Amino acid sequence: MRGLIRKESLQIIRDPSSIGIAFFLPVLLLLLFGYGVSLDARNVAIALVVEQPGPEASSLISGFRQSEYFAPRVMFSIQQAERAMMERRVDGIVWLRSDFARQLRSGGRAPVAVIVNGVDANKARLLQGYVNGVWLQWLSRTSAELGRPLHIPIKVEQRIWYNPAVRSRNYLVPGLIAVIMTLIGAMLTSMVVAREWERGTMEALLVTPVRVQEILLGKIVPYFILGMGGMLLSVAMALFLFHVPLRGSLAALTLASALFMLTAIAMGLLISTAAGTQFVAGQVAIVITFLPAFILSGFVFDIGSMPIGIQWVTHLVPARYFVAIVQTIFLAGDVWPIFYINCGWLILMAAVFFVIIRKKSHKRLRI
């Protein structure tokens, strides 16, 4: 047993690529994605079409200029703005017609058209929200100046819990850790068994008196330690580099990470046991780890809004449980109901994986 762990460990040490995968890769990916992935639009290019300049128009323009969300460009005809939108130089148009000032003063309801580019609908929605914010401020100021202060029947007061600054990075970075560690765990192990078979060293292992469990354990232990090292690095980066607050306990985070690492490694081992060749193992690993962890884990796309059939499918993605746990531990704290349920699922998945691996390896060893 000890010999096996030693052998796998030596293999890891001699082949620096596994160490690179476990330590270098998470750091690199987290750096790139942590900075690169953000849903907070800042300095959105919009066209402000002012057909007739005037004091009201200028005050609206300065409202947009002062907002951190916009990088407005003043244009003088709608055709010019439409062309800019077609060429994707601006994401939205605010259109003040020539009779805007007149209607405003005469008490008519001066229409201001806002056109957003709906190709990226999510961004368009956020953009509409930002425009609304600037607009309402300007409107109440202007109404007061016109001597007809605006009466707002209901005023919305928002309290955003857990993430008051609404920084998308605060939830994307913990989610990225889950995605990256799925990759690392599965990638590290998915090729291990397949490699043994292809190189014929599995047969060599078979004739020794080691038992199947021992072979498997010998493979899991070193990779588990490697994976946890990468995890530790990622968490440290999230805390100290990206300044994601950690409101829960480190103990809960460690326990959940260990469970998740185990599940990811089990998944990798299962792939390599079932696949047989490195080619198939690698492809299956690409197909069932990265993309599902990216799309089906709830890391960017809200699971609750998916069709019910797809929601069931997400239960097969281990990253889903880990994303729920890390996002909560980082931002909300130790919420035990969430922790227990998701850890329970992770344990269940790992157990099922190991049972299948055990069965499969047994059969193969008797060939």
Question: Which residues, 194 to 233, sit near another protein by CB under 8 A?
Answer: 195
**Does residue number 27 form part of the binding site for another protein (CB under 8 A)?**
no
Distance CA 253, CA 177 (A): 12
Among 70, 224, 294, 321, binds another protein (CB under 8 A): 294
CA–CA gap between residue 86 and residue 64 (Å, rounded): 22
Binding another protein (rule: CB under 8 A), the pick from 52, 62, 132, 208 is: 132
| 236 binding another protein? (CB under 8 A) | no
The answer to whether the CB of 210 falls within 8 A of the CB of 1 is: yes
Identity of the residue, 211 or 279, whose beta carbon is nearer to another protein in the bound complex: 279
68 binds another protein (CB under 8 A): no
By beta-carbon proximity to another protein, the closer residue of 112 and 232 is: 112
Q: Is the CB of residue 227 less than 8 Å from the CB of residue 184? A: yes
Instruction: Tell me: does residue 13 bind another protein (CB under 8 A).
Output: no
Q: Between 173 and 266, name the residue whose CB sits nearer to another protein.
A: 173
Among 4, 30, 104, 267, binds another protein (CB under 8 A): 104
Sign, CA torsion 51/52/53/57: negative
Tokens of 142: 């202007």
Which residues 82-101 are close enough to bind another protein by CB under 8 A? 85-88, 100
Specify the residue, 156 or 207, whose C-beta has the smaller distance to another protein. 156
Q: Which of 78, 163, 221, 233 binds another protein (CB under 8 A)?
A: 163
Q: Which stretch binds another protein (CB under 8 A): 119-127, 210-218, 220-228, 258-266?
A: 119-127
Q: Does residue 278 belong to the site contacting another protein (CB under 8 A)?
A: yes
Distance CA 6, CA 245 (A): 39
Q: What token pair was written down for 70?
A: 């916009």
Strands 92-96 and 70-75: unpaired
Note whether 297 and 319 are within 8 A (CB): yes
* Cβ 185 vs Cβ 265: under 8 Å: yes
Q: Looking at this protein, which amino acid is placed at residue 174?
A: P
Indicate whether 150 belongs to the interface with another protein (CB under 8 A): yes
- Token output for 102: 């007149």
Near another protein by CB under 8 A: residue from 156, 207, 251, 367 = 156
Q: If binding is defined by CB under 8 A, does position 52 make contact with another protein?
A: no
34 contacts 176 by C-beta, under 8 angstroms: yes
- Spatial contact of 150 and 143, defined as CB atoms under 8 Å apart: yes
CB 162, CB 332: distance < 8 Å: yes
Tokens (6 digits) for 87 = 């060429």
Q: Considering the rule CB under 8 A, would residue 302 count as an interface residue with another protein? A: yes
CA pair distance 194, 191, nearest whole angstrom: 5
Q: Name which of residues 304 to 333 contact another protein (CB under 8 A).
A: 304-307, 309-310, 313-314, 324, 327-328, 331-333
Query: Per rule CB under 8 A, is residue 191 in the interface with another protein?
Result: yes
Beta bridge partners of 47: 73, 93
CB of 147 to another protein, least distance (A): 10
| CB 218, min distance to another protein, A | 19
DSSP-derived secondary structure for 256-296:
HHHHHHHHHHHHHHHHHHHH-SHHHHHHHHIIIIIHHHHHS
Region near another protein per CB under 8 A, out of 107-115, 211-219, 231-239, 260-268: 107-115
Work out how close the CB of 85 gets to another protein at its nearest, in angstroms, rounded to a whole number.
7
